[in-house]
Amino acid sequence: MSVPRELKSNIYSVGAIDWDRRLFDELIPLPDGTSYNAYLVKGREKTALIDTVDPTMTEVLTKNLNQLEVKDINYVIANHAEQDHAGSLPQILDMYPNVKVVCTQKCKGMLMDLLLIPEGKFITVEDRETLSLGDKTLEFIHAPWVHWPETMLTYLREEKVLFTCDFLGSHLATSNLFVTDEATVYEAAKRYYAEIMMPFRATIKKNLEKIRDLEIDIIAPSHGLIYDRPEFILSAYRDWISDEVKNEVVIPYVSMHESTKKMVDYFVEALIQRGITVKQFNLSKTDIGKLAMALVDAATIVIASPTVLVGPHPSVVYAVYLANALRPKLKLASIIGSYGWGSRMVEQIKGMVPNLKVELLEPVVVKGFPKEEDFKALDRLADGILNKHKEYNIFKSEG
């Protein structure tokens, strides 16, 4: 559901709020739902729709356009080809037979493949090309890899509104249009960055640089709330994409018969005693999005697993695969855990993380329940992490 609302003179929010969605791509948890924002920009001569909505919500978009009595749309700007934004294009093309789809060359190919949109419907735009709506000018800024290769941003020059589609967005279902509670939005935007954008950190850095000199009053993404204080989200992104890491250790773990759990408990206390922040995740219960968020800033990951059929536990395999795919800026890694009769867990986990540019600290993998010498080895590992964090100049004593 949603109703059309004017966010600035002749600029309307016409998208949909998805209160109930709890999973994206059948993978990413959405604890607070999401929204598919679309924007109608009415110029003196022409009208443009910026992005559409997920196909499950097409009726909301068409209802909103009817409610605003939109008789004609000249352009539908497709900033991104993924179906949660482009999926209602076929219905918009049916409703407004003269409409042209404006997008990058790469996006055109993808929309033809994904949504079978005929070639004659497209206008492709180059980086920084403009399109006049009469008294309003749309400028298109190519911003590839946020998070697909065809993506662009649309800047409404006169009103200083930047429409960013996925970029800078958040999965949040809320009836508000603009950010009112920055702490809540920070959390949701960080989760979104971690799950969607983090693998493209280097490219996002370039794209942020590209918009640095734009005068921006409003950032209007196609998920979540609109920012009328752009610096809030831009500075958060600058922090997340920076090369700086924090004095934090992330410990994803699973335990079957308490041996690994005992090691984790001991090790977490050892790190806390040394003044290091710890984020511990039981993989049989955790929200994988929370783990991804923790990886945005942490200097170190310590993977803790029992041995199953000589390898790591399958839940650990899943988490390690994701961590490798998300390419966090970790600097250190280690492995702790246990086995009953034999283990190749360390070699197998090492082989699964080619994307993580980390130094591996001596793993601690023990036979059976941990004993005194094993706890000493965990102490040595905690000391090693502390020393490295000091070397990186990120250790800050709380005392």
* 85 forms part of the interface with ligand FEO (CB under 6 A): yes
How far, in Å, CA of 194 to CA of 102, rounded? 29
Count the helix, strand and coil residues of the chain and give each as a percent rounded to the nearest 5. Answer: 35, 25, 40
Query: Binding residues for ligand FEO, how many (CB under 6 A)?
Result: 7
* 80 forms part of the interface with ligand FEO (CB under 6 A): yes
Site string for ligand FEO, 110-129 (x = CB under 6 A): --------------------
CA atoms within 13 A on the CB side of 131: 26
**Nearer CB in complex with ligand FEO: 80/136:** 80
Q: How far is the CB of 79 from ligand FEO (least distance, A)?
A: 10
Q: Within 28-67, which residues bind ligand FEO (CB under 6 A)?
A: none
Q: How far is the CB of 289 from ligand FEO (least distance, A)?
A: 15
**Nearer CB in complex with ligand FEO: 196/386:** 196
Rounded-to-10 torsion of CA 85, 88, 94, 97: -10
How far, in Å, CA of 386 to CA of 380, rounded? 10
**Nearer CB in complex with ligand FEO: 38/365:** 38
* 166 forms part of the interface with ligand FEO (CB under 6 A): yes
The answer to whether the CB of 337 falls within 8 A of the CB of 329 is no
Structure tokens at 372: 């005194």
Q: How far is the CB of 118 from ligand FEO (least distance, A)?
A: 23
**Nearer CB in complex with ligand FEO: 151/338:** 151
Beta-carbon contacts of residue 229 (< 8 Å; ≥ 6 apart): 179, 182
**Nearer CB in complex with ligand FEO: 85/136:** 85
* 136 forms part of the interface with ligand FEO (CB under 6 A): no
* 82 forms part of the interface with ligand FEO (CB under 6 A): yes
Q: How far is the CB of 147 from ligand FEO (least distance, A)?
A: 6
**Nearer CB in complex with ligand FEO: 85/191:** 85
**Nearer CB in complex with ligand FEO: 80/331:** 80
Q: At what angle do helices 288-297 and 314-326 cross, to 10 degrees?
A: 50
Q: Quick one: DSSP state of residue 206?
A: H
* 84 forms part of the interface with ligand FEO (CB under 6 A): yes
Q: How far is the CB of 119 from ligand FEO (least distance, A)?
A: 23
Stretch that binds ligand FEO, among 82-90, 208-216, 230-238, 365-373 (CB under 6 A): 82-90
Q: How far is the CB of 199 from ligand FEO (least distance, A)?
A: 13
Q: Quick one: DSSP state of residue 32?
A: T
Report which residue's Cβ sits closest to ligand FEO: 82
**DSSP assignment string, 175-192:** S-SB-S-HHHHHHHHHHH
**Nearer CB in complex with ligand FEO: 200/339:** 200
Q: Which of 100, 223, 274, 279 binds ligand FEO (CB under 6 A)?
A: 223
Stretch that binds ligand FEO, among 81-89, 209-217, 256-264, 267-275 (CB under 6 A): 81-89
Amino acid at 48: A
Q: How far is the CB of 298 from ligand FEO (least distance, A)?
A: 25
Beta-carbon contacts of residue 62 (< 8 Å; ≥ 6 apart): 88, 91, 92, 95
**Nearer CB in complex with ligand FEO: 86/302:** 86
**Nearer CB in complex with ligand FEO: 195/248:** 195
How far, in Å, CA of 245 to CA of 197, rounded? 17
The helix/strand/coil state of 12 is strand
The answer to whether the CB of 101 falls within 8 A of the CB of 90 is no
Amino acid at 75: Y
How far, in Å, CA of 43 to CA of 350, rounded? 57
Phi/psi at 56 (5° precision): -70, -15
* 374 forms part of the interface with ligand FEO (CB under 6 A): no
* 108 forms part of the interface with ligand FEO (CB under 6 A): no
The answer to whether the CB of 295 falls within 8 A of the CB of 249 is no
The answer to whether the CB of 353 falls within 8 A of the CB of 334 is no
- Footprint of ligand FEO (CB under 6 A): 80, 82, 84-85, 147, 166, 223
